[in-house]
Amino acid sequence: MIKSGSPDCSIDRTFISTFYFPHKVTKANQIARISRNPIYLTREYKQMIDSRQVKNQSELSRKLGISRVRICQIISLLKLDSLIIKELEKFGDPLKSKIITERILRPYVNKSYQEQPDLLNFLKKLLKYNKG
Protein backbone atom coordinates (compact mmCIF):
# COMPACT_ATOMS: atom_id res chain seq x y z
CA MET A 1 0.00 0.00 0.00
CA ILE A 2 1.32 3.41 -0.99
CA LYS A 3 -0.06 6.62 0.50
CA SER A 4 0.45 10.00 -1.00
CA GLY A 5 -0.98 13.39 -0.19
CA SER A 6 -0.25 16.95 0.79
CA PRO A 7 2.81 17.19 3.06
CA ASP A 8 1.20 19.96 5.11
CA CYS A 9 -2.17 18.83 6.51
CA SER A 10 -3.22 22.40 7.38
CA ILE A 11 -3.71 23.43 3.76
CA ASP A 12 -7.36 23.60 2.62
CA ARG A 13 -6.64 21.46 -0.40
CA THR A 14 -5.34 18.46 1.42
CA PHE A 15 -5.86 15.14 -0.31
CA ILE A 16 -5.09 11.57 0.47
CA SER A 17 -4.82 8.82 -2.14
CA THR A 18 -4.50 5.17 -1.38
CA PHE A 19 -3.39 2.65 -3.98
CA TYR A 20 -3.71 -1.09 -3.54
CA PHE A 21 -1.65 -3.36 -5.73
CA PRO A 22 -2.34 -7.07 -5.91
CA HIS A 23 0.49 -9.21 -4.64
CA LYS A 24 0.14 -11.68 -7.47
CA VAL A 25 -0.36 -10.51 -11.02
CA THR A 26 -2.67 -12.74 -13.02
CA LYS A 27 -2.10 -13.13 -16.73
CA ALA A 28 -4.86 -13.09 -19.28
CA ASN A 29 -5.79 -16.46 -20.75
CA GLN A 30 -3.40 -17.20 -23.58
CA ILE A 31 -4.70 -18.83 -26.71
CA ALA A 32 -2.91 -22.07 -27.50
CA ARG A 33 -1.31 -21.75 -30.91
CA ILE A 34 -1.47 -24.66 -33.29
CA SER A 35 1.63 -25.29 -35.38
CA ARG A 36 0.47 -26.16 -38.87
CA ASN A 37 2.48 -28.14 -41.38
CA PRO A 38 3.29 -25.63 -44.13
CA ILE A 39 2.61 -28.15 -46.91
CA TYR A 40 -0.88 -28.97 -45.62
CA LEU A 41 -1.54 -25.26 -45.23
CA THR A 42 -0.31 -24.62 -48.78
CA ARG A 43 -2.55 -27.33 -50.20
CA GLU A 44 -5.50 -26.01 -48.22
CA TYR A 45 -5.03 -22.49 -49.62
CA LYS A 46 -4.51 -23.80 -53.17
CA GLN A 47 -7.63 -25.96 -52.88
CA MET A 48 -9.69 -22.93 -51.80
CA ILE A 49 -8.60 -21.08 -54.93
CA ASP A 50 -9.02 -24.08 -57.26
CA SER A 51 -12.49 -24.94 -55.95
CA ARG A 52 -13.62 -21.31 -56.45
CA GLN A 53 -14.31 -20.70 -52.76
CA VAL A 54 -12.29 -17.54 -53.40
CA LYS A 55 -11.49 -15.92 -56.73
CA ASN A 56 -7.77 -15.39 -56.24
CA GLN A 57 -4.96 -14.92 -53.74
CA SER A 58 -6.06 -11.36 -52.98
CA GLU A 59 -9.53 -12.44 -51.96
CA LEU A 60 -8.08 -15.30 -49.92
CA SER A 61 -5.82 -12.87 -48.08
CA ARG A 62 -8.78 -10.61 -47.25
CA LYS A 63 -10.81 -13.60 -46.06
CA LEU A 64 -8.00 -14.90 -43.81
CA GLY A 65 -6.82 -11.49 -42.65
CA ILE A 66 -3.21 -11.95 -43.75
CA SER A 67 -1.28 -10.14 -46.45
CA ARG A 68 -1.44 -11.14 -50.11
CA VAL A 69 2.35 -11.41 -50.16
CA ARG A 70 2.22 -13.92 -47.29
CA ILE A 71 -0.34 -16.00 -49.20
CA CYS A 72 1.93 -15.94 -52.25
CA GLN A 73 4.92 -17.02 -50.15
CA ILE A 74 3.00 -19.93 -48.66
CA ILE A 75 1.58 -21.13 -51.99
CA SER A 76 5.03 -20.92 -53.59
CA LEU A 77 6.06 -23.93 -51.45
CA LEU A 78 4.40 -26.12 -54.07
CA LYS A 79 7.45 -25.37 -56.26
CA LEU A 80 9.58 -27.57 -54.00
CA ASP A 81 10.73 -30.93 -55.28
CA SER A 82 8.06 -33.65 -54.93
CA LEU A 83 10.38 -35.76 -52.72
CA ILE A 84 10.70 -32.89 -50.26
CA ILE A 85 6.94 -32.39 -50.24
CA LYS A 86 6.45 -36.11 -49.49
CA GLU A 87 8.94 -35.95 -46.61
CA LEU A 88 7.17 -32.90 -45.21
CA GLU A 89 3.82 -34.68 -45.37
CA LYS A 90 5.24 -37.44 -43.14
CA PHE A 91 5.34 -34.99 -40.22
CA GLY A 92 1.53 -34.84 -40.28
CA ASP A 93 -0.74 -31.93 -39.46
CA PRO A 94 -0.87 -30.25 -37.00
CA LEU A 95 2.73 -30.41 -35.86
CA LYS A 96 3.65 -31.08 -32.24
CA SER A 97 5.82 -27.95 -32.27
CA LYS A 98 7.25 -25.48 -34.75
CA ILE A 99 9.62 -28.05 -36.25
CA ILE A 100 9.22 -26.89 -39.82
CA THR A 101 7.97 -23.47 -40.84
CA GLU A 102 7.32 -21.82 -44.15
CA ARG A 103 10.18 -19.41 -43.46
CA ILE A 104 12.64 -22.30 -43.13
CA LEU A 105 11.49 -23.75 -46.46
CA ARG A 106 11.23 -20.50 -48.43
CA PRO A 107 14.93 -20.20 -49.38
CA TYR A 108 14.79 -23.63 -51.06
CA VAL A 109 11.87 -22.72 -53.34
CA ASN A 110 14.07 -20.80 -55.79
CA LYS A 111 16.97 -23.24 -55.70
CA SER A 112 17.49 -25.81 -58.41
CA TYR A 113 16.46 -29.42 -57.88
CA GLN A 114 20.16 -30.29 -57.58
CA GLU A 115 20.50 -27.99 -54.54
CA GLN A 116 17.32 -29.10 -52.79
CA PRO A 117 18.61 -32.52 -51.58
CA ASP A 118 20.35 -30.69 -48.71
CA LEU A 119 16.92 -29.88 -47.37
CA LEU A 120 15.74 -33.43 -48.05
CA ASN A 121 18.61 -34.87 -45.98
CA PHE A 122 17.89 -32.41 -43.18
CA LEU A 123 14.20 -33.39 -43.17
CA LYS A 124 15.00 -37.10 -43.06
CA LYS A 125 17.29 -36.60 -40.06
CA LEU A 126 14.68 -34.45 -38.37
CA LEU A 127 11.97 -37.03 -38.97
CA LYS A 128 14.14 -39.81 -37.48
CA TYR A 129 14.95 -37.63 -34.47
CA ASN A 130 11.27 -36.73 -34.01
CA LYS A 131 10.12 -40.36 -34.05
CA GLY A 132 12.91 -41.68 -31.89
Cβ neighbours of residue 88 under 8 Å, at least 6 residues apart?
Answer: 37, 38, 39, 80, 100, 105, 123
d(CA 114, CA 91): 23
Could you tell me the pTM of the whole model? 0.68
Task: Identify the domain containing residue 52 by its residue range.
Answer: 38-114
* The total number of structural domains that make up the chain: 1
Q: Is residue 99 part of a domain?
A: yes
Q: Is residue 54 part of a domain?
A: yes
Q: Is residue 88 part of a domain?
A: yes
Each residue of 22-68: pLDDT tens digit? 777 667 676 777 889 999 999 999 999 999 999 999 999 999 999 99
Q: Is residue 42 part of a domain?
A: yes
